[in-house]
Amino acid sequence: MDAIQALLSRASAAKLGEPAPSDENLDTILRCAMRAPDHGRLRPWRFLVIRGAGRRDFGDVLADSLRRQTPHASDDMLERERAKAMRAPLVVCVAAAVRHDSNIPRIEQILSAGAACENMMLAAYALGLGAMWKTGAAAYDDNVKIALGLTPADSIVGFIYVGTSSVPPKGQPQIDSATLVTSWPPVAS
């Protein structure tokens, strides 16, 4: 797929199912992620690939997080949280392992990890796969980071769910670019 066409038409998948990306497609998606702009070439990204039965463990981590944050969460709420891990056959947790021994600002390292997420979204789409970028409270929970082998100093920037889109993508919203794009300095009228 042409790059501009992919950029202009990409949409999040509304629902994902099997099959999971092949190993070859996953490798392509991750290599695209690692082409994200990266000030100082710090490679501040971490990619945790969760699939198959590993998703059940991930679901338990999500449910534990909700239980800690909402002690009165009902069994239904906990089950819904656990089920999020099964939204797709494959999930990649993308984190920024911010290097504090560098003079590159923390925000730029986190932005680089966000750019890696977007590269993954676009790569999946261009390969004919579907993807969703999710965070939620769990992404900001230190206990979740530790359970996933990260440290509290790391920032989870996305859980990228990847699979096969089982419903047509949503339509593209109209965006009034005139409210978002201006010339600077303002042109005198």
Question: Which residues bind to ligand FMN, rule: CB under 6 A?
Answer: 11-12, 132-136, 158, 170
- Residue whose CB is less far from ligand FMN, 40 or 114: 114
Contacts of 56 (CB under 8 A, 6+ apart): 85, 86
Residue number closest to ligand FMN, CB atom: 12
- Residue 82 CB, shortest distance to ligand FMN, in Å, is 16
Structure tokens at 131: 């993807």
How wide is the angle at C-alpha 123 spanned by C-alphas 139 and 2, nearest 5°? 145
- Residue 96 CB, shortest distance to ligand FMN, in Å, is 12
- Residue 103 CB, shortest distance to ligand FMN, in Å, is 25
- Residue whose CB is less far from ligand FMN, 22 or 167: 167
- Residue whose CB is less far from ligand FMN, 68 or 170: 170
CB 152 within 8 A of CB 141: no
- Fill in the amino acid letter for 108: E
- Residue 189 CB, shortest distance to ligand FMN, in Å, is 34
- Residue 2 CB, shortest distance to ligand FMN, in Å, is 19
DSSP states along 72-141: T--HHHHHHHHHGGGSSSEEEEEEE---TTSSS-HHHHHHHHHHHHHHHHHHHHHTT-EEEEE--GGGG-
Q: Which phi-psi region, left, alpha or beta, contains residue 52 (left: φ > 0; alpha: ψ -120 to 50)?
A: left
- Residue whose CB is less far from ligand FMN, 4 or 53: 4
**Residue 35: which of 45, 23, 24 has the closest Cα?**
45
- Residue whose CB is less far from ligand FMN, 173 or 186: 173
- Residue whose CB is less far from ligand FMN, 11 or 30: 11
- Residue 123 CB, shortest distance to ligand FMN, in Å, is 14
